[in-house]
């Protein structure tokens, strides 16, 4: 009888100790792991819910505590209490956001907020571009991920990076988001043409558009030939290449136009200019061979305008 009584007492004591242990977690013996402590100031700083609102979490430490308390209340035996303890530990490990995730998300939120404020106050496209470049730089800093070239067009990568970070659960997830952002920014930079190349492309495109308008209004084969010559002259001016005899350099100009349209760098543009200059030089109007080449090109482009081509050939030969 005495032994049975003592056994019951020991079981109750064990259950009471377990209840006390579980009810105390995580408040006893230390700070809540979700609450960063500033040891220099001697105060505890709690991150506001607004700051981490974009971090997607299944639970919080408070929720883990609440679930554990509910589990304890429903426990019917010692093994149920052990199960509550195991579930509580799993909750903490699975759902507490690492500091680097929260820090990165907060930094990205700040970058986007600053971009919005800056964009509203921008008074010109140039001002807006500065805002966008700053946002890209800010985002790269938030991820601690360097990017080779920062361009305004990469601002489209900022929102997707923030969404990625908002879903992150681990430091590895944040690192992966940073790499994705860097790749996106580099692709955006590669798609942006240098100003001088963009100007040349615009110039050549304008020449081509003018040619289409000219041909649509031309009523004779000779008028069409004149349109082609005007286009060649226009392309030459756009690229800074002198074309003394545009009518004979139509093919050269059209080849140069295709070259410029495909250019992606200053070196590409220089190659197009050099090729056009070389092609035009071979068509020197003082060269009889050049006149014959020009006649052949004219006929090839305007088969029903052979008389006009012949007249241009005669003039080329000085007749």
Extents of the domains making up the chain = 2-97, 101-191, 195-316
State CA 86 to chain mean position distance: 44
Residue whose pair of structure tokens reads 């590409």 in the numeric block: 268
Distance CA 6, CA 85 (A): 26
Query: Residue 152 has what pLDDT?
Result: 87
Is there a contact between 181 and 143 (Cβ–Cβ < 8 Å)?
yes
Question: DSSP letter at 38?
Answer: E
Is there a contact between 283 and 294 (Cβ–Cβ < 8 Å)?
yes
* For residue 80, pLDDT beyond 90: no
pLDDT, average across residues 113-130: 92
* For residue 95, pLDDT beyond 90: no
Query: Residue 60 has what pLDDT?
Result: 64
* For residue 2, pLDDT beyond 80: no
Strand partners, 38: 43
CA triple 145-149-150, angle to 5 deg: 80
Percent of the chain beyond pLDDT 70?
A: 75
* For residue 234, pLDDT beyond 90: yes
How far, in Å, are 6, 7, 15, 231 from residue 1 at the CA level?
A: 9, 10, 22, 115
* For residue 67, pLDDT beyond 50: yes
Query: Residue 74 has what pLDDT?
Result: 87
Query: Residue 284 has what pLDDT?
Result: 63
pLDDT, average across residues 257-275: 90
Question: HSE of 194 in the Cβ direction (CA atoms, 13 Å)?
Answer: 11
Query: Residue 33 has what pLDDT?
Result: 38
Higher pLDDT, 187 or 90: 187
> If pLDDT is split at 50, 70 and 90, which confidence band does 140 have?
very high
Question: DSSP letter at 41?
Answer: T
Q: Is residue 37 classed as helix, strand or coil in its secondary structure?
A: strand
**Which residues are within 8 A (CB) of 153 and not within 5 positions of it... i.e. 6 or more apart?**
132, 188, 189, 191, 192
State which H helix or E strand residue 43 sits in: strand 43-44
Q: pTM for this structure? A: 0.46
CA triple 227-233-237, angle to 5 deg: 140
> If pLDDT is split at 50, 70 and 90, which confidence band does 137 have?
very high
Distance CA 153, CA 163 (A): 18
> If pLDDT is split at 50, 70 and 90, which confidence band does 61 have?
low
* Tokens linked to 46: 């709690």
Query: Residue 248 has what pLDDT?
Result: 80
Residue whose pair of structure tokens reads 């250019």 in the numeric block: 263
Query: Residue 5 has what pLDDT?
Result: 42
Q: Any idea which of 5-19, 55-69, 218-232, 290-304 has the lowest mean pLDDT? A: 5-19
Higher pLDDT, 22 or 300: 300
Q: How far apart are the first and last CA of the chain?
A: 138
Across the chain, what does the average pLDDT equal?
Answer: 77
Higher pLDDT, 316 or 286: 316
Higher pLDDT, 1 or 266: 266
Q: Any idea which of 59-68, 80-89, 240-249, 286-295 has the lowest mean pLDDT? A: 286-295
pLDDT, average across residues 296-319: 76
* For residue 146, pLDDT beyond 80: yes
pLDDT, average across residues 94-109: 84
pLDDT, average across residues 45-50: 36
* Tokens linked to 127: 């001002």
* Tokens linked to 19: 């209840």
* For residue 182, pLDDT beyond 70: yes
Distance CA 230, CA 207 (A): 9
Distance CA 158, CA 143 (A): 11
pLDDT, average across residues 181-189: 89
């Amino acid at each position: 009888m005495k032994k049975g009584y003592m056994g019951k007492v020991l079981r109750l004591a064990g259950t009471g100790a377990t209840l006390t242990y579980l009810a105390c977690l995580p408040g006893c013996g230390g700070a809540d792991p979700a609450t960063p402590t500033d040891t220099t100031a001697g105060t505890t700083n709690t991150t506001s819910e607004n700051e981490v609102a974009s971090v997607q979490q299944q639970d919080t430490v408070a929720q883990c505590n609440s679930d554990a308390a509910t589990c304890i209340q429903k426990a019917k035996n010692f093994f149920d209490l052990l199960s509550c303890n195991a579930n509580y530990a799993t909750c903490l490990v699975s759902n507490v956001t690492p500091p680097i995730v929260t820090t990165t998300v907060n930094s990205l939120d700040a970058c986007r907020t600053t971009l919005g404020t800056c964009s509203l106050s921008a008074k010109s496209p140039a001002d807006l571009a500065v805002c966008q470049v700053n946002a890209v730089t800010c985002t790269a800093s938030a991820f601690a991920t360097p990017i080779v070239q920062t361009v305004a067009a990469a601002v489209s990568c900022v929102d997707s990076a923030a969404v990625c970070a908002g879903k992150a659960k681990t430091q590895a997830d944040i690192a992966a988001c940073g790499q994705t952002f860097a790749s996106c920014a580099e692709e955006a930079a590669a798609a942006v043409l240098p100003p001088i190349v963009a100007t040349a492309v615009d110039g050549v495109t304008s020449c081509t558009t003018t040619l289409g308008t000219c041909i649509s209004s031309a009523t004779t084969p000779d008028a069409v030939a004149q349109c082609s010559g005007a286009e060649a002259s226009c392309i030459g001016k756009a690229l800074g290449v002198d074309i003394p005899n545009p009518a004979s350099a139509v093919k050269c100009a059209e080849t140069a136009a295709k070259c410029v349209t495909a250019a992606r760098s200053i070196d590409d543009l220089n190659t197009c200019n050099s090729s056009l200059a070389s092609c035009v030089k071979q068509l020197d109007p003082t060269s009889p061979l050049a006149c014959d080449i020009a006649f052949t090109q004219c006929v090839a482009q305007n088969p029903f305008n052979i008389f006009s081509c012949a007249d241009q050939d005669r003039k080329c030969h000085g007749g």
